[in-house]
Structure 1
């Protein structure tokens, strides 16, 4: 059936709507430039409440399969593509992308001029929109944005209860603000014994896990809207080697007195270049964030470890004396290049004392 994506200013992009009329998606619209990894993108909890536009024109050609998922199910509000392949060319367990999304009642809009849509987003910035079948009029569609609110997004994607993943190595507690499977996998590969705590865990809850180190995970939404998690973040920074990833990086900045600010259209893709000032090398990285940290007020205690080479935004900070490291990108990839996997090794060496107690 025919359908369309409509923004609050009335701008409309038409296409073919795949899904039920009851599944209309609404949310912030972001574009991702990755050529592969669409299932990882769809299942990344950081995309909660967002409609994702994939700029690569051919999507679905290798289908979907369980091993590629970053969480239990897709968190996106909807997916927009130029051309959808209905029959995947992959191993026998692969399922068509449209079938996968339909199983979770997530709408898809295909046959869209995604180049024009991306240009609109680059010009106007991240905007809210609604994705509906053509049988729903524009006024009715836009009315669905009235109660759209992402302020509690983290608490909708976090684990409802603590859980553990066994391992022979150091005890790592992961604060789950929307953690991806790939982060847990990289820690497990390195032998960590993992405890995962819900986003609302208190400092006392964290202390009870007796960690050797703490990871503050990725997650969705504006970090400034969840000040209630900052006491636990501060407790982690004061007591344990700590590694922040994406939202975790932003929360460290806020906990230490910095401010965060929105980017015009965010960084979403698998080919973003960073410079690691400590290692003296350029990294090609996986990114998914709409906010950045202004580190100006932190420079008496922190050094800028990583810088984005496109817009010079701060992509990582490192405490000058304490074992604290945080990065804005996704070193675990999922999807994307593995250039910065060494940051997990660096963190765990700090935990075990091999780095002299400094991240």
Structure 2
């Protein structure tokens, strides 16, 4: 094999032994994680800074990534939590008036290993056909190292049975102050929301504030008694990474809050509330990761195009009889939300805030 820049030779190796060659960008080193694909054509910075991607290597199906650079305002968290990034072409020279840095420098600064020049379509087809699987990215490497790296990839564990929330949730209680830009709300104050941080995205907090809520954010291990002592009007269980069944402390907190205060769950929060009510969750074959996922609002038959990022789902027939399914995926028929008035619970599996993605579902924040 002949490579244009052998000093930057990078590989992405799947657990099943498939090897994809490319050129390294971002931080040098080795990254291990579950390999998933994201079909969004824009919003790569929001994707890479979303805490829900903790423990994953994200393959972007869109061909050109990095065109508009990066800026501090668009981060969903203070730093990326994902393990690695794989793209077809990483733009070296961004062109956008908001750009403050390049994607390459951004990933390098935060220690995220990347590979460019790979056939992202072939990786996507493999993951779609076989299922999400562990893999690794490494650079710089020599061809002599490939057999050893393949052996390492074969021994990598998956995400089932692992609590990843403990790595991304921030302890303590903090008041969230939205930036003075398009999120500034002139709406009358609706109430006081306590957000349980399971890996919360900034855009969720922005949407809550824009809807008129004053928001305090607390760590995932905050006891239910402490939360109730804050006298919230609503408790929001946020998005987050990993296997929901392993976040036992959040499930216990949710159980203790049921029926005592209005509850709203987003993504992982939706799954945690379902588990607290006695339902079961399961691993999806390759998950939902992208910005164009259609869901149907069951009561009205209205179709919404939504942003999604989850690898697990709630088994609908295990919900209590008092729970009413409210949204369903038009791609695979999986449950996308439910209401249970007897417990004051409302949930959505998708991301109503977008961040990135369409704003079809942002009305949900106003309806809380």
CA-to-partner distance for each residue in 1:195-234, whole Å, 9 max, x for gaps? 1110111111211211111100000000011222212111
The whole-number CA distance in structure 2 between the counterparts of 1:344 and 1:235 is: 24
User: Is the CA contact (8 Å cut-off) linking 1:62 and 1:94 kept in structure 2?
Assistant: no
Distance 1:282 1:55 in 2: 24
After TM superposition, list the pairs within 5 Å mapping 1:104-143 onto structure 2.
104-133=110-139, 134-135=141-142, 136-140=145-149, 142-143=151-152
CA 1:251/1:78 → structure 2, altered by over 3 Å: closer, same or farther?
Answer: same
Does structure 2 conserve the Cα–Cα contact (< 8 Å) formed by 1:195 and 1:209?
A: no
The 1:321–1:228 alpha-carbon spacing in structure 2 relative to 1, beyond 3 Å, is closer
- How far 1:145 sits from its partner (Å)? 7.4
Cα distance in structure 2, aligned partners of 1:126 and 1:244: 25
| Residue 277 (1) aligns with residue 298 (2) | yes
- Structural mapping, 1:123-272, within 5 Å: 123-133=129-139, 134-135=141-142, 136-140=145-149, 142-143=151-152, 151-165=162-176, 168-272=189-293
Residues 260 and 294 of structure 1 are in contact (CA less than 8 Å); yes or no, is this contact kept in structure 2?
A: yes
Which one of 15, 38, 42 corresponds to residue 44 of structure 2?
38
Decide which of 79, 83, 94 is 2:89's aligned counterpart.
83
Counterpart of 1:101 in structure 2 is 107
**How far, CA to CA, are the matches of 2:154 and 2:214 in structure 1?**
43
Q: Is the 8 A contact 2:196 2:217 kept in 1?
A: yes
User: Is the partner of 1:64 in helix, strand or coil?
Assistant: coil
Matched with 2:4 is none
CA–CA distance in structure 1, aligned partners of residues 38 and 273 of structure 2: 26
Q: Does 1:69 align with 2:80?
A: no
Q: Deviations over 1:257-306 (max 9, x none)?
A: 11101110000000000000123300000000001101213251111100
Q: In the TM superposition, what is the alpha-carbon distance from 1:24 to its structure 2 partner?
A: 1.0
Unaligned runs of 5+ in 2: 1-7, 179-188
Structure 1: runs of 5+ lacking an equivalent: 348-359
For residues 147 and 116 of structure 1, what CA distance do their matches in structure 2 show?
21
**How many residues are paired up?**
346
Q: Please identify, of 54-63 and 321-330, the stretch whose mean Cα deviation from structure 2 is larger.
A: 321-330
Alpha carbon RMSD of aligned pairs, Å?
1.7
Contact 1:286 1:329 in 2 (8 A): yes
Q: TM-score, normalised by structure 1?
A: 0.92
Most deviating of 244-253 and 320-329: 320-329
- Residue aligning to 2:186: none
Aligned to 1:286: 307
* 1:15 corresponding residue in structure 2: 22
SS of residue in 2 equivalent to 1:292:
strand
Q: Note the C-alpha offset of 1:93.
A: 4.0
1:20–1:88 distance in 2 versus 1, CA, 3 Å: closer
Secondary structure of the corresponding residue to residue 201 of structure 1 = coil
Which has the higher mean CA deviation after the structures are superposed, 136-145 or 210-219? Answer: 136-145
Cα distance change of structure 1 residues 145 and 209 upon mapping to structure 2, 3 Å threshold: farther
